[in-house]
């Protein structure tokens, strides 16, 4: 039941325990107790709303920053990640395989603000060897939700 609850919540965090119980064919009390247990265990870390900021008229700049680091002896990558994720601008940080170590996802009001973060806070860190910043130009799909307008064929149909 746990994985089924998580799958449903991932698609619709606003669903009530009552409606979920009906979908699962389980008692509402059991579903509510399982959700509460998963929240307590931090299996469910929070509930978020996906907002299309472009449509809301609030322009934000999103950047993905590739970061190469030198891991610290005895602590590996965790202590470096902790230093980075404490900055409020940082929306997410992932340890990666491949050509670089971290992907840092950052939000700012302008490209200059993001560049200033990289120059003043991220690059000067002792463990950071290099960074490469990529700006998101347009979001088509985010967290499984299509954000782009459907492209419609506006050509007129001509019958022979």
pLDDT in tens, the chain (160 residues): 888 998 888 888 889 999 999 999 999 999 999 999 999 999 998 887 777 777 777 778 999 999 999 987 877 899 999 999 999 999 999 999 999 999 999 999 899 999 999 999 999 999 999 999 999 998 888 877 787 776 666 677 777 7
- Residue 154 in any domain: the answer is no
Would strands 102-108 and 90-95 be described as parallel, antiparallel, or unpaired?
antiparallel
- Residue 45 in any domain: the answer is no
Task: State which H helix or E strand residue 35 sits in.
Answer: helix 28-40
- Residue 48 in any domain: the answer is no
- Residue 67 in any domain: the answer is yes
Q: Which domain holds residue 113?
A: 61-139
* Torsions phi, psi for 86 (to 5 deg): -75, -15
- Provide, for the chain, the percentages of residues in helix, strand and coil under a 3-state DSSP scheme, each rounded to the nearest 5: 30, 20, 45
Beta-carbon count within 10 A of 80 CB: 23
- Residue 19 in any domain: the answer is yes
- Residue 103 in any domain: the answer is yes
Instruction: Note whether 131 and 99 are same-domain residues.
Output: yes
Q: The domain spanning residue 105 has which CATH number?
A: 3.30.70.920
- Total tally of structural domains belonging to the chain: 2
Instruction: Note whether 28 and 95 are same-domain residues.
Output: no
DSSP bridge partners of 141: 146
pLDDT reported for residue 7 = 86
Closest CA to 131 of 63, 62, 66: 66
**Which runs of consecutive H residues, i.e. helices, occur in the chain?**
2-11, 17-24, 28-40, 78-85, 111-117
Distance CA 117, CA 70 (A): 20
- Residue 149 in any domain: the answer is no
Distance CA 39, CA 46 (A): 8
Instruction: Note whether 80 and 132 are same-domain residues.
Output: yes
Distance CA 22, CA 92 (A): 35
Instruction: Note whether 33 and 70 are same-domain residues.
Output: no
């Amino acid at each position: 039941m746990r994985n089924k609850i998580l799958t449903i919540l991932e698609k619709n965090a606003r669903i009530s325990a009552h409606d979920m119980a009906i979908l699962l064919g389980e008692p509402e009390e059991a579903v509510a107790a399982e959700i509460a247990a998963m929240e307590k265990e931090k299996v469910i870390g929070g509930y978020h709303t996906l907002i299309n900021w472009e449509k809301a008229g609030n322009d934000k700049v999103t950047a993905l920053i590739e970061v190469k680091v030198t891991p610290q002896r005895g602590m590996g990558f965790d202590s470096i990640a902790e230093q980075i994720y404490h900055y409020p601008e940082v929306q997410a940080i992932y340890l990666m395989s491949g050509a670089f170590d971290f992907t840092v996802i950052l939000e700012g009001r302008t490209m200059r603000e993001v560049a200033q973060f990289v120059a003043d806070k991220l690059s000067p860190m002792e463990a950071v060897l290099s960074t490469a910043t990529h700006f998101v130009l347009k979001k088509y799909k985010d967290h499984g939700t299509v954000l782009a307008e459907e492209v419609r064929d506006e050509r007129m149909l001509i019958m022979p």
